[in-house]
């Protein structure tokens, strides 16, 4: 049973945890009996059933949703759609998309957001968290099947479904949010040795890393998932020592993955200027070219921008203009003033989500932290690459970039945030940490 007498978090009674799950401290990090048990799917399933009963919504009072979150999201989508329209249908078709297709995914995403917002109880997301993550990883594995996986720019990251395609890594992000939130709450509330926590989290991160970072060659998504994990573990109150050890292991893995692939080494060397001994365009790497064209687009926008329909860079100069480089196109059209508007919208959205967190219990607060980290991670990696602050890697700008899977899942997750914003802060039995 779960004992809720500890005001610091959820207290798991180790002597009664169902079906013999032992929570005694470990003396080693190896694959001992307890760690092997924790890594089994059955253990995860039983844990999340327990969490479902603890963090349910029975008897909790509700209030009006924070619709300012919806307004901000819709404003960003409107600005993104306007930018895509200004790019032109010819460029969109050349990149495999189009406004009609984007509109279809937008409608699907809005339906998903409405459903997750209106569902009276979100408890099922806790119960099925292991299945969501497992399905995402399974679909990532299916990408390797010939005829199923779709290769774009040397990366096999999409599953072809007739004329459409989906990116399973977006589902993995959602699975990480719900699954890792439960694991973080469990670690926070038990006396697990720090080495055991590091071992479990390290193995989980390694499994995800193999599918995303190695097999799909998607460094950008890996960085976003790492940001999600950092936000979740920090919000749940997991020991700083555990997070530091996990970060050290992750950095070693990241370095090894960079050394494994020549194009990553090239981007890293390009970022630090090691290949800039010549000024000739003949030796300019693709990442250098992409960055240079992005900066030209941003700089040519000036203070007020060129205006809609007057872009130059998006017509043949700037790679991936509708997706990874959409901010550069937006800055060219709307200038510094427009860029400040985007920064203000993203900043306000993050602030509103942090306010929603304050009214939630431990698990759901951690979920919102993970979604916040997701948005910040995508935004930071996209903007950092376009501005040359980090080695170039492509991820979509949330609610802006051309692309279906990211938009659909991101809008669905925002529906979850809107739903959670309707619960009053610490005003109902079983809500908040005072009675945990």
Q: Which long-range contacts (CB under 8 A, 24 or more apart) does 357-360 make?
A: 357/235, 358/425, 359/420, 359/421, 359/423, 359/424, 359/425, 359/426, 360/420, 360/423
> Is the four-CA dihedral 343, 349, 352, 356 of positive or negative sign?
negative
Mind listing the pLDDT tens digit of every residue in the chain (436 residues)? Answer: 344 434 344 445 544 444 444 444 434 444 467 778 888 888 999 999 999 888 877 656 667 889 999 999 999 999 988 888 877 665 665 655 667 788 889 999 999 999 999 998 888 999 999 999 999 999 988 888 877 877 776 667 888 777 777 889 999 999 999 999 999 999 988 877 788 888 899 999 999 988 887 788 888 899 999 999 999 999 999 988 999 999 998 898 888 888 777 667 777 776 676 554 444 445 566 777 878 888 888 888 889 888 877 777 767 677 777 778 888 888 888 999 999 999 999 999 999 999 999 878 899 999 999 999 999 999 999 998 888 888 878 788 999 888 788 999 999 999 999 999 988 654 332 323 333 3
The pLDDT of residue 282 = 52
The pLDDT of residue 65 = 87
Identify whether the C-beta of residue 431 lies closer than 8 Å to the C-beta of residue 60. yes
What is the rounded CA–CA span in Å between residue 378 and residue 359? 25
The pLDDT of residue 272 = 72
The pLDDT of residue 26 = 36
Residue 319: how many other CB atoms lie within 10 Å: 17
As a whole number of Å, the CA-based R_g of the chain is 22
What is the rounded CA–CA span in Å between residue 5 and residue 205? 32
The pLDDT of residue 27 = 46
The pLDDT of residue 312 = 72
Angle made by CA atoms 299, 303, 304, in degrees to the nearest 5: 110
The pLDDT of residue 1 = 39
The pLDDT of residue 78 = 93
Give residues with Cβ within 8 angstroms of 182, minimum separation 6.
Answer: 47, 48, 51, 126, 129, 363
- Regarding beta strands 149-152 and 11-12, do their DSSP bridges make them parallel or antiparallel, or are they unpaired? unpaired
The pLDDT of residue 89 = 60
Residue 100's Cβ-count burial label (10 Å; 0-12, 13-18, 19+) is exposed
The pLDDT of residue 91 = 61
Residues shown for the chain: 436
The pLDDT of residue 10 = 47
């Amino acid at each position: 049973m779960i004992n809720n007498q500890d005001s610091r978090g959820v207290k798991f009674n180790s002597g009664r945890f169902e079906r013999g799950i032992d929570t005694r401290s470990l003396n080693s990090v190896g694959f001992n009996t307890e760690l092997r048990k924790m890594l089994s799917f059955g253990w995860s399933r039983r844990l999340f059933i327990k969490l479902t009963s603890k963090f349910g919504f029975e008897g909790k009072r509700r209030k009006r949703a924070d619709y300012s979150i919806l307004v901000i999201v819709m404003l960003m989508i409107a600005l993104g759609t306007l930018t895509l329209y200004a790019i032109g249908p010819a460029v969109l078709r050349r990149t495999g998309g189009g406004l009609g297709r984007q509109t279809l995914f937008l409608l699907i995403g809005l339906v998903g957001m409405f459903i997750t917002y209106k569902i009276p109880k979100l408890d099922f997301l806790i119960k099925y968290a292991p299945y969501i993550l497992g399905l995402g990883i399974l679909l990532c594995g299916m990408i390797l099947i010939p005829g199923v996986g779709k290769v774009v720019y040397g990366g096999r990251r999409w599953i072809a479904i007739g004329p459409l395609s989906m990116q399973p890594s977006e589902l993995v992000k959602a699975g990480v949010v719900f699954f890792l939130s439960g694991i973080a709450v469990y670690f926070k509330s038990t006396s697990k040795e720090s080495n055991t926590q590091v071992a479990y989290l390290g193995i989980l991160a390694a499994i995800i890393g193999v599918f995303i970072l190695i097999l799909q060659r998607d460094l950008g998504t890996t960085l976003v998932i790492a940001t999600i994990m950092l936000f979740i573990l920090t919000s749940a109150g997991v020991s700083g020592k555990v997070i530091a050890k996990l970060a050290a292991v992750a950095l070693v893995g990241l370095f090894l993955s960079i050394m494994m692939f020549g194009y990553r080494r090239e981007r890293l060397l390009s970022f630090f200027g090691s290949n800039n001994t010549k000024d000739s365009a003949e030796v300019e790497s693709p990442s250098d070219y992409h960055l240079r064209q992005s900066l030209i687009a941003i700089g040519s926008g000036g203070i007020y921008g060129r205006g809609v329909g007057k872009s130059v860079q998006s017509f043949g100069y700037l790679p991936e203009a509708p997706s990874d480089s959409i901010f550069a196109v937006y800055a060219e059209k709307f200038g510094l003033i427009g860029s400040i508007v985007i920064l203000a919208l993203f900043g306000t959205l993050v602030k509103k989500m942090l306010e929603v967190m304050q009214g939630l219990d431990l698990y759901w607060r951690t979920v919102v932290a993970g979604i916040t980290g997701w948005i910040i991670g995508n935004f930071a990696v996209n903007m950092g690459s376009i501005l040359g602050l980090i080695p170039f890697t492509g991820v979509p700008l949330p609610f802006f970039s051309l692309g279906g899977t990211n938009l659909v899942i991101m809008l669905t997750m925002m529906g979850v945030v809107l739903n959670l914003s309707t619960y009053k802060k610490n005003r109902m039995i079983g809500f908040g940490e005072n009675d945990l």
